[in-house]
A and B are shown apart, each in its own frame.
Chain A
Amino acid sequence: METWAGALWDRWVRHLAEAHHPQAEIRLESLRRPLSVFFRGVGGEAGRRFAVAERRIHEGRRTWRERLAGTGRLAELPHLTADELRLPAAIAHFSKRTLNRDLYFWLALLAAHFVPNGEPWWLANQRATAVALARYPAWQERYDRLVAASLALRPLPHQLPPAEAAVEDAIRAALRAPGSVRTFPVPPRPPRPVMLWLMPHEADAAPARRRSPSTAKEGSSSSATPPIQTEATEDPGSQHGMLLAFRAESLLCWAEYVRVDRSLEDAEGDEAGRAAAQLERLTLAEDSASVASRVRMDLERPSAAGADERLGEGILLPEWDYRRGQYRPDHCRIDLPRDEAMPAPLPGHLRPLTQRLRAELERICSERRPQPGQPEGDALDLDDWVRRHAELRSGCPVSAQPRYIDTPRTARDLSCLLLADVSLSTDAHADDAHRVIDVIRDALLVFTEAIEAAGDALAVAAFSSLGHAHVRYHRLKDFGERNGPAVRGRILTLRPGDYTRLGAAIRHAADRLAATASRQKLLLVLTDGKPHDIDHYDGRYGIEDTRRALFECRRRGIRPFCVAIDREAADVLPYLFGHNGHVVVQRLGELAARLPRLYAELTRP
């Protein structure tokens, strides 16, 4: 009886403490795409990704309820990194769904106006809030509702010791009237996180410190606790910026100015620091097993990360460095391993599907279009006949030869290269029985068989990478090579590699496609995620390089299209491939059937 009551009590208290309303919960997953559309629309940088904030222990003051329940220590704090906006995986603070949803959109709006210029967090958040509200006054009402609801979840100042109460008072005032708090009391301990604000992030703190010597003081204390200052920063820029807080006009100019400036700051980013910070983040993230194995890989082969080792012979390709706005010439080397494998037949379990798809593709791809006015054909061209008849009667000299409507097989003149990502993450499990790599292998086998029926030129390749000097491009089937046991054997022995240097792989594939004589060229990219490699090829850098490589493709008349097998990647895909340039396959089991059908749709005459 007692334990039962205890459990009930426990549940009740926890429930109260976490301010957790499961019935009103909103998940980031369901809002990822709308949020990124919104974020770009309100002026956020197009290349920024939305990611899940990792859980971190915060030392902040907990409410009595939380202490009672022993919860509230772990929090997913929203924050900006150099190229991501990290948001909690789910928000259920409030009992109303609309409020929880509004909080996501508020954080996106705030992030679009947030300028990490080395100011202390309490100042930077106030500034971003004031700018955002000045620019979009229609948000004021929703903002006020969010403030009221979030203040109700914060500890009451009069119940705190005086020093903490002063901090809490300052936070409350800053939330209610952003821009009004210009000095901040030294907190005896980090205050409770403010859910309407973006938290400072260690990864950013390091470069920030380097950027401007005058802000070093608060930067140096930032690793464990949020940087706090007792007085306005000495940085003249931010001091003046704050004085302008309520003159919307100048504030906007200021924000524009700084946004341009930010890319310059990035250029000096401490690369080693960034890598270390990233490693740390990976270790901290607790969700996926493959992440852990990636980290292990990094530690095993640290030498591969050695920055600019000179590349010798081989196929060298440039890489786009968005921070400098220029190419790094000959930065990547393509290896062309040709692993000879035992020739193999098509596995039995794929045969019925393959047969069905071949028939389907044959039908779709040879669909015909009627062409009037032909000397020969299946039906009389009545329009033409009436016209001739009229002309004859009006005395025009016309030949009496009737014309026909013909529906010839349209000659297709198309080359397609299927490029599959076989990075280590494809080693992960798609479902209980299959790993992603198995699904990819099946899909490649079925695709190769099915496309044969369409009669188009096809090449199939897989890639992975380990640093810029080792981009492995496996030629599974070349253009002009007959499909058969040897090709199947190569596909069947495909193993997961390391990382995903997408830009280099795309550039090399594009070179191969460009060498074909076809009029239409299609580059199908099959990947489970985002550009990522050890030597800082990640985040914004990898995304921008890939985007550039795709841009080069289009300029060369190659049409890229992406088939993604990971919803996580969904928010960066439009930025890379465009709105109409990608699909996300939700159920992996369907990939093998989906791919050929998609191909048929893309190339439908």
Chain B
Amino acid sequence: MTLPPYEPASDEVELFEHAWRNRLPVLIKGPTGVGKTRFVTHMAARLDLPLFSVACHDDLTAADLVGRHLVQGGQTVWQDGPLTRAVREGGICYLDEVVEARKDVTVVIHPLADHRRTLPLERTGELLAAPPEFMLVVSYNPGYQNFLKGLKPSTRQRFVALRFGFPDEAREIRILQRETGCDALLARRLVALGNAIRRLDGVDLEEVASTRLLVYAALLIRSGLPVLTACRAALIEALSDDAEVTAGLEELVRTVLGE
């Protein structure tokens, strides 16, 4: 089985392995598209563990994670949710954007994320003890301005925390080249563009260009689209709806990448 490529920033791979060995849950925070999901996928493959990913949203309830009874041909059957499966099979359960989930989700997370490592299934009356291989990983993006949402300290303090930021220049160039097979010059210029756009953070743009968007742009350019067309579609329009801001961004593209 091939490892999904992951370009480390520093010693996060080691840290994750230590956390896993010591049965500690991990919290990853960082802006969108900087490799959080990729990292977890990579680590799961590296540790040879099954991965159960859940993208959280504001209608996600505890039942969606734990499981529920279903009616099937006159019979009722219990179906495990992803969290329960991860516990039973001994794998990684990854809750992406955990702050988005409903409040009752934290109730099922808490006993799993501390020394108890248990998951009570109220509906079936079971109490599952997590095997040593099981690991809980959650992520969230602290950049979003949600006043009402945020992790409660009692939740936060159950996790070992990792911060992901935009990769530095050399690392991002390596990522682009490996992900898209583009040449070094294009990778370097796209990264310069990414960094130019990142200077606009919070002033002109709410979210700035992620590595993911640079990967998209590189893929489109490599497959033969003109630079400006590719960047407009992959970067500019993805970042802003304001015509005046996009006009300025277009000039940045022309300045950094040429026509």
Contact = CB atoms under 8 A, between A and B. Distances in A.
Contacts of B199: 40-41, 43, 46
B244 A390 contact: no
Nearest to B69: A390
Per CB-CB distance, the 8 closest pairs between chain A and chain B, nearest first, are A37-B248, A138-B258, A33-B244, A34-B248, A34-B247, A390-B69, A394-B76, A390-B76
A366 interface: no
Interface in B123-156: 123-124, 147
Contacts of A390: 68-71, 76
A139 to B, nearest CB: 6
A520 interface: yes
A356 B206 CA distance: 34
29 contacts: A33-B247, A36-B204, A37-B200, A38-B248, A38-B251, A40-B203, A41-B200, A41-B248, A41-B249, A42-B252, A136-B255, A138-B254, A138-B255, A139-B255, A386-B71, A387-B69, A389-B71, A390-B69, A390-B71, A390-B76, A391-B69, A391-B76, A391-B123, A393-B71, A393-B76, A559-B147, A575-B203, A578-B202, A579-B245
B182 interface: no
Contact of B255 (A33, A109, A559): A109
Nearest to A138: B258
**A contacts with B: majority SS:** helix
A390 B258 CA distance: 63
A38 B247 CA distance: 9
Interface in A556-605: 557, 559, 574-575, 578-580
B71 A40 contact: no
B53 to A, nearest CB: 24
Given A35-B248, A138-B256, A396-B123, A41 B203 contact: no
Interface string B195-209: 011011011111000
B13 interface: no
Nearest to B59: A372
Interface string B224-259: 000000000000000010101101110110111111
Interface range on chain A (Cβ under 8 Å from partner): 20 to 34
A43 B192 CA distance: 11
A105 interface: yes
Contact of A387 (B68, B205, B254): B68
Interface string A129-148: 00000001011010000000
Contacts of A578: 202-203, 206
Contacts of A109: 255
A40 B200 contact: yes
A413 to B, nearest CB: 11
A557 B147 contact: yes
Interface of B: 63, 68-71, 76-78, 123-124, 147, 196-197, 199-200, 202-206, 240, 242, 244-245, 247-249, 251-252, 254-259
A337 to B, nearest CB: 34
**B contacts with A: majority SS:** mixed
Contacts of B249: 37, 41
B15 to A, nearest CB: 31
A109 B251 CA distance: 10
A46 B247 contact: no
B213 to A, nearest CB: 15
Contacts of B200: 37, 40-41
A105 B251 contact: yes
Contact of B203 (A389, A520, A574): A574
Given A390-B71, A394-B69, A41 B247 contact: no
A520 B148 CA distance: 9
Contacts of A387: 63, 68-69
Contacts of A33: 244-245, 247-248
A37 B123 contact: no
A580 B245 CA distance: 12
Contacts of B244: 33-34, 37
A235 to B, nearest CB: 30
B251 A138 contact: no
Contacts of A141: 258-259
Contacts of B124: 396
A579 B203 contact: yes
Contacts of A559: 147
A119 B63 CA distance: 70
A42 B196 CA distance: 6
Interface in A360-415: 386-387, 389-391, 393-394, 396
Given A31-B247, A387-B68, 5 more contacts: A33-B244, A38-B255, A105-B255, A136-B256, A138-B257
Contacts of A139: 255
Contacts of B63: 387
Nearest to B227: A138
A34 B199 CA distance: 14
Given A394-B76, A579-B203, A36 B255 contact: no
A391 B125 CA distance: 12
Contacts of A38: 248, 251-252, 255
Nearest to A392: B76
A292 B212 CA distance: 53
A177 B203 CA distance: 36
Nearest to B196: A41
A46 B244 CA distance: 17
Nearest to B258: A138
B206 to A, nearest CB: 6
A244 B204 CA distance: 35
A570 to B, nearest CB: 9
A580 B206 contact: yes
Contacts of A43: 196, 199
Contacts of B196: 41-43
A394 B78 contact: yes
Contacts of A391: 69, 76, 123
Contacts of A37: 200, 204, 244-245, 247-249, 251-252
Identify which of B63, B76, B255, B257 gathers the most chain A CB atoms within 10 Å of its CB: B255
A584 to B, nearest CB: 11
Identify which of A35, A42, A138 gathers the most chain B CB atoms within 10 Å of its CB: A138
Nearest to B124: A396
A105 B196 CA distance: 15
Contacts of A105: 251, 255
Contacts of B245: 33-34, 37, 579
A31 B71 CA distance: 62
A579 B248 contact: no
A330 to B, nearest CB: 30
A396 B240 CA distance: 52
Contact of A42 (B147, B255, B257): B255
A572 to B, nearest CB: 10
Contact of B204 (A136, A394, A579): A579
Contact of B205 (A31, A34, A46, A579): A579
A377 to B, nearest CB: 17
B107 to A, nearest CB: 15
A506 B257 CA distance: 42
